[in-house]
Structure 1
Amino acid sequence: MPDYGHQLLFGAFITPGAQAPERAVGLAELAESAGLDLATFQDHPYNPAFLDTWTLLSWVAARTQRIRVSANVLNLPLRPPAVLARAAASLDLLAKGRFELGLGAGAFWDAIEGMGGRRLGTGQGVDALSEAIDVLRGVWDSTAGPLRLSGKHYPVPGMRRGPAPAHDIGIWLGAYKPRMLALTGRKGDGWLPTQEYLDTPDRATANRLIDEAAVAAGRDPRQIRRLLNIMQVDFSPTGRGFLQGPPEQWVDQLLPLVLDEGFSAFLIGRDDPRLLQTFGEEVAPALREAVATERRKNDTPTGPVRPAIALARRQPGIDYDALPAALADRAIEPGDPEYDRVRHSYSHQGSPALVIRPENPAEVAEALGYARSQQVTISVRSGGHGISGRSTNDGGIVLDMSKLNRVEVLDRATRRIRLEPGARWGHVAQALAPYGLAMSSGDYGDVGVGGLATTAGIGYLARRYGLTIDHVVAAEIVTADGRLLRADREQHADLFWAIRGAGGNFGVVTALELEAYEVGNVVYAQLVVDASEPAELLGRWGRLVEDAPREITSFLSLFPNRRGGPPMAQVTLVYAGDDVEAAEAALRPFLELGPILDQQAQLVPYPAIVAPPGNQHHGQGLADTHSGLLPHITAPAADAVAKMIRSGDVLVVQFRSVGGAVNDVARDETAYPHRTQNFSVLAATVPERRARLDRLWADLYPHLDGMYLSFEADTAPERLLDAFPEPTLGRLRAVKAVYDPDNVFDRNFPVPPAVPDDTEAALVP
């Protein structure tokens, strides 16, 4: 049989003995440390000498970091598939995509019946397993409506689907007889037999039956991974038989199983620590190298095989087959199970033709080159929270930076840190906290580093420490022509200036270096205030913020009346420090804002107020927004906002305080020139009320002085001067002409390249 081209996996088939429970767990931990990929356990719920396999899988997943876990195989008759589907998805989410589902039709029927299970004949067991697979996949498809299946063994009259697992869980079937092998070919993701039980049919015949069934079902046989449990193994100085000898003999004997019979995963069924360690440290790397060599010689196709339904959903205008092999493994197409996880941004729904997830700068350059060759819209996404929605598209390509997510402290003494763009700010806060460091970065922990740290970054510590971009000291960026550049004050200083405020226009940032600051605990307070007189409330709050010490940063959100009640305001206050007495003195005046309906204040670690919720994006945010900046909250400006809130057509107006350290930076120091304003304001509503929002915003617009780009949904060219008033815009256009003359990066308030005649002049600050 052919080599199906799957990545090799190596694992352990561990006995879940109850008398020494820590032994099974310890063997799994050892398997991980030895470099193995899988820790699997047999499942016999009726055997009191064994631990419950599901409990053990959960425990092992919590005790390990990298290794995948699976039953080998789960006993379906005693584990109803609808419940099993939710349990599997839950474990996969908790283990961050490290669960696979080995599944069997059942055996030892007397014992199963003794526990209340229903005895099935051989044919009935296969039919029941087939229905169970439909239930499992139906529950995991959280994008559809209620799941209804009219199965004979596992009917589902109507249930809500979900949750979706963290990754596309493989369903590996323990199959030996023709009907089970045919089911594996029709519906399975893998075949998981034990070598010592394979008799009739033998391995070659069984593989043929699987392939024939796959083809008959319209599938590519390469979609089905072939795994093999091997029980009778040992290492010895001299060879005594199959897998009974030195490691090099094991490699020689396993190699034909990969190249000639298509097996790509081997699981050793002996609870011997020494044997597992040698298998992981010596056999696995040598076999991987031998297989890679042969695959290069034979030009063997590798990587994921798209199912027929996925191929049918490919969109015209994209040469999918031209995608470089290094990127294809992690690319997601419209028909892929993970597509709905990556297609949307937080605010907008999208239908991209392809989502590419590079893992390093070289792959970013390769992905960008490929995307440019396709002549379609290109979007770049770090966290997907941009309100303008430009990190997704319809029919184009998305470069998803979520795999570049490292957070490093380079030098604690100088507080130098390095962040990759796909990291989330909540995770950054958690990673920096043990060092006593922090970085002001918005108010929501799921926001990605890349977008915020190249636009501005108004966070909970802004008045004390400034914008996020004010602390960027270097950037690594892939430019439109595929070069990886390092930009700082000495190298590509013009690009370094532009990245800090308009970074999305000049390339794909792959890393940023910043100087963090010393922050441990902060005082976090929230007030709920009656906003029956919104204009007066806004005026008082604005004056209090401007008079407050710089340690105080405050956000205020206004909401219209609901259910007959008055408009409400939620005020968040953060004191950047752990001096409780000073914080109390600074916060006390805010209690005079108006009728206080609720209040709380606490001393907390900074990461606690930006904890990442890990939400899946499905376009759930308010996408219709306007944004602006105010030097002060004057009476006319407050009246215009009050009119918005009283109209009921605007669902929220939010103010964020800037000023303080933000305004210590010179106007021309960064591409964000707004260094005299004290407040950022945004208003948001739903699509059907967008026209009314526009009319109400027009009353506020004359009082604004600039715009905070991240919160504006209107990206019309005329808004550029709000975001980048001259001479900033001219200077940006000149830099654009140097680094992106073809305007490849045109999705985020596109800055048009300058014409050649004025480029040199505009580069002068």
Structure 2
Amino acid sequence: MLEVVRPGDRLYRAVRDVYTATGRPAAVARPASTPEVVEALRFARDAGGPLSVRSGGHGISSVATNVEGTVIDLGLLNSVERIGDDLVRIGPGARWGDVAAALHPWGLAISSGDSGDVGVGGLATTGGVGLMGRAHGLTIDHLVAAEVVTADGTVRRVDAEQDPDLFWAIRGAGANVGIVTSFDFRADRVPVVGRATLQYRVDDVARFLRAWGETVEAAPREISAFLYLMGGEFALATIVYAGDDPQGAGRAFGPFTAVAPVLGQQAQLVPYAGVVTATHAPHRGQQGATTHTGLAVHLDEPITARLADLAGSGAVEMLQIRSTGGAINDVARDATAYAHRHQNFSVTAVSSMPFDEAWERVWPMMDGLYLSFETSFSTELLEAAFPPATLSRLRDIKRRVDPDDVFNQNFPVATPVSR
């Protein structure tokens, strides 16, 4: 029987909010099976009002909760099972840290981001820029099949041969076309990885970022690197070598120690599960923030000059720069609804206060958008996330599978107006 939590119920406080925002939904449906997802969707449509679908609840955009609407919380669909040598079936409500821990005994791993508390469903229907991305691609690049509930309550099994248009759409714009109730991934054989953490003193932000970008692009594909720049004077880096060769990892890490003065460093071989650990901390809207983001081909002089100005303006607390490129860019741009296959970096700025005006100087330097790191919505941003041919195909599929625009809370492709 479908569990529905309402205001005043004992569980309501635990399921009303997400990591980045507080909510006040009229009901939170908690399905424990695909038939119950169908029932929850019918319940939400009958109730009317906003509909949010939530997996892990960690999403930056905060659209996984609402006010006076229905939330379909997929947290109970959290199974992880092995269905072949390197094939695994994962529920959308599992957290990536738990997935990594479950896959490790089998010598398997799936690149999935930098936080183990992120839910599988949100990330695996948007992209998945992770700490093994240059070696193994986006998370969606490992998806081989899925089970999807579309707006009319139909349960569809989709893959490259069966319903290929819908399979294409869920890999980058899944929140617009249905609710994925299980994912079949082809995992990589990665028993352990090399992980290095470095703390830098930053004397010249623009010069530092250019050196960082050049070092990342020159690194072997086994290397993926995430940089966190705080206040323009201090930076922290997490660098992962997707392999178990300590000598190879050491050689690959070496150039990163020459980027800027190193205040502290550590390197070791660890299970991938040790890189993305799930804490299962409760979500109470504790990390409310404004974020703006864009993709970059290179960290060249024009971009780094603008980023240095932004970092020094006091408008943002952190700049995060994630490596893309490598295996991510081996995939054809029209192979998935995520079409950004030539950029080498994802750049995100974070602040506790709005900083639209400061970001406007940086945005013209960007080349595309990854939706998971953006808190704003506009037609311009939607078109940056989905190039014209991609957006046109998405809208055709949307008209066929969701003509009533039921799934309209997460960068809706069928709504070409600002909100």
Shorter-chain TM-score bucket reads over 0.9
* Residue in structure 2 matching 1:730, options 372, 392, 415: 392
Query: What is the deviation of 1:331?
Result: 1.8
Given the alignment of the two structures, is residue 387 of structure 1 paired with residue 60 of structure 2, yes or no? yes
Partner of residue 301, structure 1: none
| Residue 81 of structure 2 corresponds to residue 408 of structure 1 | yes
Structure 2 unaligned regions, length at least 5: none
Higher helix share: 1
Give the unaligned 5+ runs of structure 1.
Answer: 1-325, 562-566, 755-765
Per-residue displacement from partner, 1:348-384 (whole Å, max 9, x unpaired)? Answer: 1111111110000100001101110111100000001
Alignment counterpart, residue 445 of structure 1, candidates 84, 108, 116: 116
1:643-681, CA deviations, whole angstroms, 9 ceiling, x for partnerless residues? Answer: 111112201110000000000000000000000000001
Partners of 1:519 and 1:639 in 2: how far apart? 38
Q: CA-atom RMSD, angstroms?
A: 1.1
Which amino acid is the alignment partner of residue 399 of structure 1?
I
Structure 1 residues 737 and 753: CA distance shift in structure 2, 3 A: farther
SS of residue matched to 1:373: helix
Structure 2 counterpart of 1:369, from 42, 46, 51 = 42
Residues 347 and 623 in structure 1, CA contact (< 8 A), matched pair in contact too: yes
The aligned counterpart of 1:502 is 173
The alignment status of 1:542 with 2:213, answered yes or no, reads: yes
CA distance in 2, matches of 1:753, 1:459: 29
Using the TM superposition, give the Cα deviation of residue 388 of structure 1 relative to its aligned residue in structure 2, in angstroms. Answer: 0.7
Superposition TM-score, scaled by structure 1 size:
0.54
Task: Choose from 4, 10, 14 the match for 1:337.
Answer: 10
- In 1, distance between residues paired with 2:117 and 2:305? 34
- The equivalent position to 1:705 in structure 2, one of 363, 367, 377, is 367
Whether 2:259 is the aligned partner of 1:593: answer yes
Alignment coverage as a number of residue pairs: 416
SS in 2 for 1:655: strand
Among residues 486, 510, 515, which one is paired with 2:157 in the alignment?
Answer: 486
Asked whether the equivalents of residues 315 and 358 of structure 2 are also in contact (C-alpha less than 8 Å), the reply is no
Retained in 2: the 8 A contact 1:556–1:569? yes
2:326 alignment partner in structure 1: 660
* Alpha-carbon distance in structure 2 between the residues aligned to 1:500 and 1:611: 24
More strand by share: 2
Q: Show the counterpart of 2:310.
A: 644
Question: Does residue 684 in structure 1 map to residue 346 in structure 2?
Answer: no
Write out aligned runs for 1:522-533 (5 A).
522-533=193-204
Partner deviation per Cα, 1:189-236 (whole Å, 9 max, x = no partner): xxxxxxxxxxxxxxxxxxxxxxxxxxxxxxxxxxxxxxxxxxxxxxxx
Matched residues in 2 for 1:651 and 1:753: separation? 32
Give the equivalent residue in structure 2 for 1:74: none
Counterpart for residue 140 of structure 1: none
- Which amino acid in structure 1 is aligned with residue 262 of structure 2? I
Q: CA deviation at 1:385?
A: 1.2
The correspondence for 1:626, drawn from 278, 292, 301, is 292
1:578-617 deviation line (CA, Å, top 9, x unaligned): 1010111111011111111111111111101111011100
Report the CA distance between 1:716 and its aligned residue: 2.1
Write the distance in 1 (CA, Å) between the matches of 2:207 and 2:356. 23
Give the counterpart letter for 2:280 in structure 1: G
Contact 2:108 2:189 (8 Å CA) reproduced? yes
Q: How far apart are 1:532 and its partner, in Å?
A: 2.4
Shift of 1:753: 7.6
How far apart, CA to CA, are the structure 2 residues paired with 1:570 and 1:341?
32
Percent identity of paired positions between Structure 1 and Structure 2: 52
Cα distance in 1 between the residues matched to 2:139 and 2:30: 25
* Aligned equivalents of 1:419, 1:558: Cα separation in 2: 34
Q: 2:30 is matched with which residue?
A: 357
Q: Tell me the CA shift for residue 622 of structure 1.
A: 3.9
- Extract structure 1 runs of 4+ deviating beyond 4 A: none
**Counterpart Cα distance in 1 of 2:402 and 2:256:** 48
1:480 and 1:507 in contact (8 A); partners too = yes
In the alignment, the residues of structure 1 paired with residue 330 and residue 395 of structure 2 have an alpha-carbon distance, to the nearest angstrom, of 26
| Residue identity in the other structure for 1:640 | R
Q: Which has the higher contact order (CA 8 A, sep 6+)?
A: 2
Partner of 1:576: 242
Which residues of 2 match residues 305-316 of structure 1 at below 5 A?
none
Determine the structure 2 residue equivalent to 1:420.
Answer: 91
Which SS does the other structure have where 1:511 is aligned? strand
Give matches, 1:250-399, under 5 Å: 326-327=1-2, 330-399=3-72
For 1:642, the aligned partner's letter is A
Q: Which amino acid aligns with 2:142?
A: H
CA distance in 2, matches of 1:719, 1:631: 18
